[in-house]
Copies of this chain bind each other. A is one copy, B any other.
Amino acid sequence: MDLPTLQDFLAREFPQFEGEVLSLNETCCCLGLQIEDKHLRPGRTVSGPTLMALADVALYAAILARLGPIALAVTTDFTCHFLNKPSADRPLLAEASLLKLGKRLVIGEVRLFSEGEQACLAHVVATYSIPPQLTNARV
């Protein structure tokens, strides 16, 4: 899937997703999210679940970009290490790449940043299970 097709698919299948796919190439899929009050925790930091939710969609988008429109890939495990405090005043960026594209499992990692800042906010590694019929056909 190219960038506009991926954006259309996510808009249609994930109307709840408030972020945006910013760029897409062979190795990386980058998503952005504007920070609003509902994403904040005490101390004006972005909540951990906000970071994890963006990372989850970013990896899902990276998988879609490679395998085509698989609405039914499901997360099987998700590990996040929180590294630095996010800025409440800057959009959140997620850079997702795949570590392995297997027949049944896809494993990927995500690095999260505040736009314009160098420090990595969080590192995610997660596994997605691909429905059998699709992998037989496609991978």
Contact = CB atoms under 8 A, between A and B. Distances in A.
Q: Which of the four size classes fits the interface of chain A?
A: 35 or more
A84 interface: yes
A58 to B, nearest CB: 12
Contacts of A3: none
B105 A129 contact: yes
A63 to B, nearest CB: 14
B78 A107 contact: no
A49 interface: yes
A120 interface: yes
Contacts of A132: 104, 132
Interface of A: 13-14, 16, 38, 40-43, 47-49, 52-53, 56, 71-72, 74-84, 99-100, 104-105, 107, 109, 120, 123, 125, 127, 129, 132
